[in-house]
Amino acid sequence: MTDNVLISPNTMEDFDPNSLLGDEATRRIAAAVTQARGYEHVALRAALGRVLAEDIRSQLNVPPYANSAMDGYAVCGDDLTKNSETRLAVSGTAFAGHPFNGTVQRGTCVRIMTGAPMPRGTDTIIMQEHVTREENHIIVGGGHKNGQHVRQAGEDIAAGSIILQRGKRLRPADIGLLASLGIAEAKVHRRVRVAFFSTGDELCSLGKPLREGQIYDSNRYTLFGMLTQLGAEIIDMGTVADNRVAVADAFLEAAACADALITTGGVSVGEADYVREILAELGHVDFWKIAMKPGKPLAFGKIKDTVFFGLPGNPVSAMVTFHQYVRPALLQIMGQTECAPTSVRLRLASRIKKSPGRMEYQRGIMQRDNSGDTVVKTTGAQGSHVLSSMSQANCFIVLPLECGNVEPGVLVEVQPFDNQM
Ligand code: AMP
Ligand code: MG
């Protein structure tokens, strides 16, 4: 690799000069990935979690008419005496769905419920708690403001304005917003098609007893979960043996049908690690090592038009590299505008040991301390095979490449999992 940023090896005991810096890896992936072509028009409920493919402009005002924000009385503000009592005759009632149809004469008012249209001739609401009712009259005290407790037409959404932009992943509030405009269908990007398989002769499928030297294949399940949360269309190709022909065949099969292929295992430099070599034979290797921990061996490239991610086999490394590098790329393919993991800064509650030279993603737990502030600590053992640390964690603690040990009280970058992991 020729274009690494130069870092003095003396100060970076853990730095591998053949590895790519994280930011550079992100840039290269973003540059190599293209948005998938193809849209779908789906019913509003089915649009939840999908990425919007067009800007939505409102054809309506929401609310469509001025209406009352309170149960009370609709009055003409100018009828009220500012600093003393006013007596008004009640000339009718307005309910939500059953407007008052006349024009309200000066000196009179209308009993009104929340959501009912403001009757013609009125502009102000007096809460029912603030009046004294006397048969067919009310008595209102001083101190009310003209226009109070009225929701104006277009206050939420003005007709003609853009309320949702293409590239947004639709959340419950968004489909509600579309419904409030009477929109029953949305144009969304097609889902990204992702094929994946595990490599490793030691892997045993669920339902079979473990033989000597075997472990169960967990990566296919974490990948299934993370891809499902992301809204991908999944092609699970199972477990593939550590054998050149089998791995090459699986590569070609995936390249024929998927936007992206993800493998786990076989990307290090062991004798049975064929993934990178076969990627080079059948396609193109962009990079295969990132200065990060866990997850240093991460192969990225292309086989025909299919983007390829060769994740490390260790279960934590596979999840970390997926979250940092694969997920943003898949979102980009799906047309989503916001792709990077979200992060916040929190105070560290326990010491972290680290050598400079690699970006580190430690498994963390965010929680309230005794004074009520949210702080973060590690889950404990941080080995890249310790999948239980991912299960206990609710965030990654992200430590920059150049940093060494971190003491309690220091502000650190934290990426909350938000149900994605
Ligand atoms: P590799 O990247 O193939 O050298 O694998 C690194 C470590 O991860 C080894 O200890 C493997 O046994 C383990 N491993 C590889 N694939 C999986 C998998 N699918 N599920 C669980 N562990 C795995
Ligand atoms: Mg292996």
120 DSSP assignment:
B
Residue 85: strand, helix, or coil:
coil
Query: Block means of pLDDT (10 residues each) for the chain, length 421 residues?
Result: 46 86 97 96 98 97 97 98 96 98 97 98 98 97 97 96 98 97 97 97 96 98 98 97 96 98 92 91 97 95 98 97 98 96 96 96 97 97 94 98 96 95 88
* The pLDDT of residue 419: 86
Q: Which atom, in ligand 1's list, is nearest to the CA of 264? A: 16
CB 119 within 8 A of CB 65: no
CA angle 155, 159, 162 (to 5 degrees): 95
Give the CA dihedral 148, 149, 154, 155, nearest 10 degrees: 90
Tell me how far apart the alpha carbons of residues 387 and 317 are, in angstroms, rounded to a whole number. 9
Q: Dig out the tokens for 52 from the structure.
A: 């919007």
Closest CA to 32 of 303, 268, 228, 345: 303
Tell me how far apart the alpha carbons of residues 379 and 404 are, in angstroms, rounded to a whole number. 19
The Å distance, Cα 158 to ligand 2 centre, comes to 58
The Å distance, Cα 264 to ligand 1 centre, comes to 7
Looking at the CA of 201, name the nearest ligand: 2
3-state helix, strand, coil in the chain (%, to 5): 20, 35, 45
The Å distance, Cα 314 to ligand 1 centre, comes to 5
Q: Which atom, in ligand 1's list, is nearest to the CA of 266? A: 3
Q: Strand runs (DSSP E) across 190-232, as ranges?
A: 193-199, 203-204, 215-216
Looking at the CA of 272, name the nearest ligand: 2
Tell me how far apart the alpha carbons of residues 242 and 79 are, in angstroms, rounded to a whole number. 87
Q: Dig out the tokens for 43 from the structure.
A: 């019913």
The Å distance, Cα 271 to ligand 1 centre, comes to 14
The order of strands in the sheet holding 306-311 is 233-240, 193-199, 260-264, 306-311, 297-303, 284-289
* The pLDDT of residue 8: 54
* The pLDDT of residue 11: 62
Tell me how far apart the alpha carbons of residues 254 and 265 are, in angstroms, rounded to a whole number. 17
Pocket of ligand 1 (CB under 6 A): 198, 200, 202-203, 215, 217-219, 264-268, 270, 312-315
Q: Dig out the tokens for 333 from the structure.
A: 């393919």
Residue with CA nearest ligand 1 atom 14: 313
CB 289 within 8 A of CB 18: yes
* The pLDDT of residue 279: 97
Residue 391: strand, helix, or coil:
helix
Residue to mutate, 196, 199, 203, ligand 1, most ligand atoms under 8 Å from C-beta: 203
* The pLDDT of residue 270: 83
Q: Dig out the tokens for 307 from the structure.
A: 């983007």
**Which pTM was predicted?**
0.91
CB 393 within 8 A of CB 379: yes
Tell me how far apart the alpha carbons of residues 386 and 224 are, in angstroms, rounded to a whole number. 19
Residue to mutate, 197, 215, 224, ligand 1, most ligand atoms under 8 Å from C-beta: 215
The Å distance, Cα 330 to ligand 1 centre, comes to 23
* The pLDDT of residue 416: 97
Tell me how far apart the alpha carbons of residues 195 and 237 are, in angstroms, rounded to a whole number. 7
CB 116 within 8 A of CB 73: no
